[in-house]
Amino acid sequence: MDCAKNITVAFSGHRTYAGEACEELREVVLRLYNEGYRRFLCGMAWGFDLAAGEVVAELKRVHIDVELVAVVPYEGFYRLFHAEDAEQYRRVADAADEVIVVSEDESKVAYRLRNDYLVENSSIVVAWFNGVPRGGTAYTLRQARRKGVLVENLFHSAQLSLEF
């Protein structure tokens, strides 16, 4: 296993996330840092992804060994963002140590490639998953399970099954 993967966390969650697990997210990121995780991959979608990215950006201000990586589905993805989401995107992108663009083309495949990148390059995925068995978050968590990547779900109902 790649040694960077051993210290890498990815985030995946719904775009409808509106801060419901804000404190728990901060606690989990700090706990993972204390367990030795130093590299954090943010998929850069509005909602949970960017909320997680901002938590990591806060951690970076205190711990210089934290690395934030923005994983973008395609060049120009930021054009989908408006108002507060656009500002949050800019803050996370500005805090990122690296920006990885996984596809040259704007397409549904670009999102799958981004999600595959998150799973392939991490040893744990922190999620905000509501149990709906379709969409990018469900896909990402299924891939994580198939690849043996740990999943920690912060959604209110912790007993949700990731097996569908």
pLDDT, tens digit (0-9, with 9 covering 90-100), for 126-159: 999 998 888 999 999 999 999 999 999 999 764 4
Crossing angle between the packed helical segments 136-147 and 108-120, to the nearest 10 degrees:
40
Q: How far apart are CA 78 and CA 94, in angstroms?
A: 13
Domains of the chain: 3-153 (3.40.50.450)
pTM: 0.93
pLDDT above 90 coverage of the chain, percent: 86
pLDDT one-digit tens code per residue, 32-63: 999 999 999 999 999 999 999 999 999 999 99
Rounded Cα distance, 92 and 50, in Å: 7
